Amino acid sequence: MNYRMKEKISYLFTHLFMIVVSIITLVPIWWVLHTAFDNRTSMVSTELTLFPNSPTFKNFVEVLTHPSFLMWLKNSIIFAGGTTIFCLSLATLAAYAFSRFSFPGKHAGLASFVVYMMLPATASLVPQLMLIKMLGIKNTYLSLILIWTAGNMAFAVWNLKGYFDTIPKSIEEAAIVDGASRLQIFLLIMLPLAKPAIAITAIFVFTAPWTDYVTSYLFLTDGSMYTLAQGLFGWAADFRTVSWGVFCAGSIIMALPLTLVYLIFQRYIVGGLTVGGVKG
């Protein structure tokens, strides 16, 4: 009885805490939604309402019929999707090796990833520009997919390795006893077990090219290759082109794929699959 009351009160405080945190995270997002669905053309208003007085989709219609916006959207999908697939294919293999094998150069290899991460991007920007020009792939999808893959590799490998490390070796040992090869173990046992980590890593890797505008700003000079982030930043910098409402509608469309990706992968993020793996 007493214990139950205590627990109830403690859960009440947890709810209060979570509600406060949720409100803090929601305020700027509420502001964007409010503006995007608001009928008024100006960003600023002197009245504060929880919901727009006369909600409208006209900003969304305007942005989705804007030819530049659709082009940026297509480019961003190719850049971010390509980077995610390429980076994760290489990173899971490397992370598995770093987690499970011991070999000369292992620590140097891991450390080199960290050393690379510590070098601010500006150190390599000019030489990277030269390299891309030299390879003759300036203003191509390949150029930035390579740059972003390399840029995210260290994080992806470290993140996946950290997760592989938490998967008990007993699962693999059992498989070895059963006569499974290393590649079979990696593909059929480790990858399914690592789904939560792979999902989280994929979302992070996808986020980088999707939201990065500095790299595309420096590397893409051809307007037809511009990304969503780059295009929207241009709109934000000059509001004579579009209204705040249209900009916010575009921002929501840009944010939506990421939110969807998050929802699709949420199952894997939530599931503690290692527990089931050992027990099953």
Q: Which of 166, 170, 184, 241 binds other proteins (CB under 8 A)?
A: 166
Q: Tell me which residues in 54-83 interact with other proteins (CB under 8 A).
A: none
Other beta carbons within 10 angstroms of residue 63's beta carbon come to 26
Piece of 51-59, 60-68, 169-177, 231-239 that binds other proteins (CB under 8 A): 231-239
The residue range among 55-63, 64-72, 170-178, 207-215 that interacts with other proteins, by the rule CB under 8 A, is 207-215
**Smallest gap from residue 90 Cβ to other proteins (A):** 4
Alpha helices (H) in the chain, listed in sequence order: 2-37, 58-64, 67-100, 106-118, 122-134, 141-166, 169-177, 182-184, 191-193, 195-211, 214-219, 228-237, 244-270, 273-279
Q: What are phi and psi of 119, to 5 degrees?
A: -85, 120
Is residue 3 a contact residue for other proteins (CB under 8 A)? no
205/192 Cα distance (integer angstroms): 19
SS3 73: helix
Per-residue DSSP letter, 107: H
63, 66, 69, 196: residue in contact with other proteins (rule CB under 8 A): 196
Q: Smallest distance from the beta carbon of 30 to other proteins, in angstroms? A: 9
Number of residues in contact with other proteins, rule: CB under 8 A? 96
**From candidates 63, 75, 82, 151, binder to other proteins by CB under 8 A:** 151
CB 195 within 8 A of CB 264: no
Residue 272 engages other proteins in binding (rule: CB under 8 A): yes
Q: Which is nearer to other proteins, 37 or 96 (CB)?
A: 96
Binding other proteins (rule: CB under 8 A), the pick from 190, 194, 197, 198 is 197
Q: Does 140 bind other proteins (CB under 8 A)?
A: no
Applying CB under 8 A, among 43, 71, 187, 189 the residue interacting with other proteins is 43
Task: Name which position in 71, 150, 171, 189 contacts other proteins (CB under 8 A).
Answer: 150
| H or E segment to which residue 168 belongs | none
245 contact partners, CB below 8 Å, separation of at least 6: 35, 36, 38, 40, 41, 43, 59
State yes or no: residue 182 binds other proteins (CB under 8 A): yes
Q: Give dist(CA 160, CA 269) in Å, integer.
A: 13
Q: Which of 26, 61, 70, 142 binds other proteins (CB under 8 A)?
A: 26
Exactly one of 98, 190, 226, 249 binds other proteins (CB under 8 A); which one?
98
Q: How far is CA 215 from CA 20, 79, 136, in A?
A: 36, 12, 18
